[in-house]
Structure 1
Amino acid sequence: MPPAPGWGAAHKPGAVPLRPLGLGDIYGAAFKIIRVNPSATVGSAVLVAAVSMLLPVLATAALALFTDFTLLDPATIDTANPDNVTTNAEIFAALTPLMLLSVGSLLSAFGLIFVTGMVTHVTAAAAVGRRVGLGEAWAATHGRRWRLVGLSLTLALMWSLVIGIYLLMVTAALLGGGDVGTVVAVVLIGLLVSVPVWFFLWIRVSYLAVPPLMLERVGVFGAIGRGWQLTRRQFWRTFGIALLTVLVTGIASNVLGFPLGLIGGAISAAVPDPQTAVLVSVAVQALASVLSSAFTAPFTSAVTCLQYVDQRIRKEAYDMELLAQAGVLAR
């Protein structure tokens, strides 16, 4: 298929300059990819996040209809200290919205795994001047979806083991009967050792694993191996762009969510009915999560895939392959 009109010159048949990419190239291309393919990037992220976060809102609404959050349970009253009353209902009211939102966030994170795979195909198509819709992007992940889930579970297990080792160190220090200074020293030394290890594993093992899984004929461990290979001798550059992207998206998420938080807090404070106040609070937090996902998920995924493209151009002459795919060069 020939490049879509308006994409660029021969050395840039799509949204990506087919040469080693700088930070400006990567960010500029990421924004352009999102702008030109809104349904397959922002649309997919919003759809997944909205469905996931709708569940805690509906569950909270049902609880608000059938449960009295302020109902006092006499069995929980401390008769020795009548002024200090903590009821099951109060605990339930305090923890249930948080638990429901946590479940929604987990569902959203799982769904965004597939958004990442879709955005990877969108980015690869944009590099050769093709626009991709939501349906086509989803169809492109066919045959790779379970591998994508397997990759996510494998990486989650890796991170659980790393964090678990650190927590075991801290727990051993606490149970060992050491003084406060010893425990603090163990915590600080553990952090000094663990944080660099976390950053190293993030970049070398997990960061560039999804694009090869989606675009190359490799399995879960082959994708991890390709990520390791592509980041070899490119750790600091890859790490710098990845960390900056996390900071940028984090700030953007807070900017998007802060006004909603203020509005939700004001409405909750003004509503005398506790059931309605809880429902408003959960709904506002869910909306903030959807808006955040609409920007952070597509942008982060596009930047990651563009770094994959950049490393392949630098190490494997991937630009020649992309030019051939765009019809600029003979295969």
Structure 2
Amino acid sequence: MSEQYPPPPGWSPPTRPPATQPYAAAPAAHPQQRPRQQPPAAAHKPGAIPLRPLTLGDMYDAAFKIIRFNPRATVGSAVLVAAIAMAIPVLATAALGAALDLSLATELTSGSGGESVTTSVDGADIAGIVGVFGSLALGSVLQGIGLILVGGMIAHVVAAASIGQKLSLGQAWAATRGKRWRLIGLTFLLGLTTAVLLVLYALSWVVVVMTTSGWQVPVVYGLISVPLFAAFFVWFWVRVYYLPVPALMLEPIGVFGALGRAFHLTRTAFWRTFGIALLTFVVAQIAGSMLSLPISFVSQAVLLGGVPGEAGVFVLVMGQAIASVVTAAFVAPFTTSVATLQYVDLRMRAEAFDVVLMQRAGLTTSGGNPRP
């Protein structure tokens, strides 16, 4: 028989719960003594994202889901815009190549005795080369403008997917009605502001170099100004440049209102926004380079194979156009989707936007209470 220790003074045996219950029921708490913190309920997920503050994994998972389940309104729109824009330099190169000598390879030829013989180059041929590269630049500009509008469409696609709705390509385009010129104006304003900042900093270097003698002052100025300007540029990118597009497209505001909204939402989330945005930019650039690398490799191999001059220029332009379309097909939908999801996440953290999304999804009443 095992030895039993005596109970401590003041000890009384616990009461046994009823035999019908495996555990004793907790006593009912007084209404004024209920615990303030309740176990968190599972987040509603009517669409691509859970309606709660998002993690990095939530954003990337939702971005790929939206692209995979709605490719026409995401990848399809980017490919359509990029293909139409890049068709301009391809057709221009084909037309100019049929009419002119675009190779300019006849400037130096080998004579019968091995000596170099200089031949004349027609000015029309040089104009043809200028026209080819000018058409390529024009196509790039038009592609950039088109992708701006695609970004506005994808913002609506992501907002709809967050509550379980799927927009077609036509519906996404119709959702941008009334905001298209504002979106282009916003992008132009941001680009102009960025250019002005770079020009002002470059002019400051000119002033320092022109007004000082020796190398000490420029070196000291560089050591101080370069880190400060880089830090300011990062701040400008996160607080002003990064998030006004989804704010403009998804809220009833104008260009300057969108800039103010972006500045307000990132006020207490600078480093989080910067980290996710920088990682997304790096991932998109690496993926875009990997997608376009095989096309560039093939075009370079064809050129090294000894194709005629006119055909070589056409192959070069065609390879550039295809690589641009392939890169835009991934980079534009992915980066815009992640930026819009960051905008949604910041609103859920600061403004209880998840309650608004629940109402739009029909999960709660207008007062925020769950539907029966």
Normalised TM-score (structure 1): 0.88
Deviation at 1:150, TM superposition (A): 1.4
Root mean square deviation, CA, Å: 2.5
Which 10-residue stretch deviates more, 230-239 or 52-61? 52-61
Partner of 1:288: 323
- Corresponding residue number in structure 2 for 1:156: 191
Offset at residue 171 of structure 1 (A): 2.9
1:116 aligns with 2:151: yes
- Is 1:24 aligned to residue 57 of structure 2? yes
Q: Where does 1:54-69 land on structure 2 (aligned, <5 Å)?
A: 54-69=87-102
Residues in 2 aligned to 1:185 and 1:94: alpha-carbon distance in whole angstroms: 45
Bigger shift: 90-99 or 313-322?
Answer: 90-99
Paired letter, 1:32: K
Matches within 5 A, 1:257-296: 257-296=292-331
Question: Which residue of the partner structure matches residue 328 of structure 1?
Answer: 363
CA 101–219 in structure 1, closer or farther in 2 if over 3 Å, else same: same
C-alpha displacement at 1:63, in angstroms?
1.7
Residue 289 of structure 1 and its aligned partner are, at CA, apart by 0.6
Task: Provide the residue aligned with 1:132 in structure 2.
Answer: 167
Instruction: Quote the residue 1:209 is aligned against.
Output: 244
Q: Counterpart of 2:244 in structure 1: which amino acid? A: A
Deviation at 1:128, TM superposition (A): 0.5
Alignment-mate amino acid for residue 288 of structure 1: A
Deviations 1:239-258 (A, max 9, x none): 00000000000000110111
Offset of residue 36 of structure 1: 1.3
Who wins on radius of gyration, i.e. which is larger?
Answer: 2
1:48–1:108 Cα contact (<8 Å) kept: yes
* CA spacing shift, 1:53–1:14, aligned 2, 3 Å: same
What displacement does 1:314 show? 0.2
Instruction: Give the aligned partner of residue 4 of structure 1.
Output: none
For residue 55 of structure 1, give the secondary structure of its aligned residue in structure 2. helix
Q: Find the aligned partners of 1:60 and 1:183 in 2 and give their Cα distance.
A: 46
Q: Which residue of 2 aligns with 1:79?
A: none
The structural deviation recorded for 1:181 is 6.2
Letter aligned with residue 310 of structure 2? Q
Q: Greater relative contact order: 1 or 2 (C-alpha under 8 angstroms, separation 6 or more)?
A: 1
Q: Is the 8 A contact 2:43 2:50 kept in 1?
A: no
Structure 1, unpaired ranges of 5+: 1-8, 75-81
Does the CA contact (< 8 Å) of 1:57 and 1:286 recur in 2? yes
Query: Are 2:34 and 1:11 aligned?
Result: no
Q: What's the CA shift for 1:103?
A: 2.3
The code of the aligned residue for 2:100 comes to: T
* Most deviating of 244-253 and 147-156: 147-156
Moved more, 279-288 or 93-102: 93-102
Structure 1 stretch displaced more, 85-94 or 275-284: 85-94
Tell me the CA shift for residue 136 of structure 1.
Answer: 0.3
Name the CA distance, whole Å, in 2 between partners of 1:171 and 1:53. 38
1:274 and 1:189, CA in 2 relative to 1: closer, same or farther beyond 3 A?
A: farther
Alignment partners' CA distance in 1, 2:311 and 2:216: 47
Aligned AA for 2:333? P
The alignment status of 1:35 with 2:79, answered yes or no, reads: no
Selected match of 1:255 from 290, 301, 304 = 290
Structure 2 residue runs without a partner (length 5+): 1-41, 109-115, 367-372
Give the structure with the larger helix fraction.
1
Identity %: 48
List aligned pairs for 1:77-226, cutoff 5 A. Answer: 97-176=132-211, 178-179=213-214, 183=218, 186-187=221-222, 189-226=224-261
Distance in 1 between residues matched to 2:192 and 2:76, nearest whole Å:
30
The structural deviation recorded for 1:264 is 0.3
Question: 2:52, 2:348 within 8 Å by CA — same for their partners in 1?
Answer: yes
Change (3 A) 1:99 1:186: farther
- Residues 119-166 of structure 1: CA distance to partner in whole angstroms, max 9, x if unpaired? 000000001000111000000000111111111111112111111112
The CA distance in 2 between the partners of 1:321 and 1:298, in whole Å, is: 25
Distance 1:86 1:300 in 2: 49
- Counterpart of 1:23, as a letter, is L
Q: 1:60 to 1:183 in 2, by over 3 A?
A: farther
Partner of 2:78: 45
- Classify the secondary structure of the residue corresponding to 1:266: helix
Q: Distance in 1 between matches of 2:133 and 2:107?
A: 22
Aligned residue for 1:272, secondary structure, equals coil
| Aligned residue-pair number | 316
Given that residues 43 and 51 in structure 2 are in contact (C-alpha distance below 8 angstroms), is that contact kept between their aligned partners in structure 1? no
Task: After TM superposition, give the deviation of residue 100 of structure 1 in Å.
Answer: 3.2
Give distance in 2, aligned partners of 1:185 and 1:91: 46
* Amino acid in structure 1 at the alignment position of 2:318: A
Is the alpha carbon distance of 1:187 and 1:295 closer, same or farther for their aligned partners in structure 2, counting shifts above 3 Å?
Answer: same
Shift of 1:214: 0.7
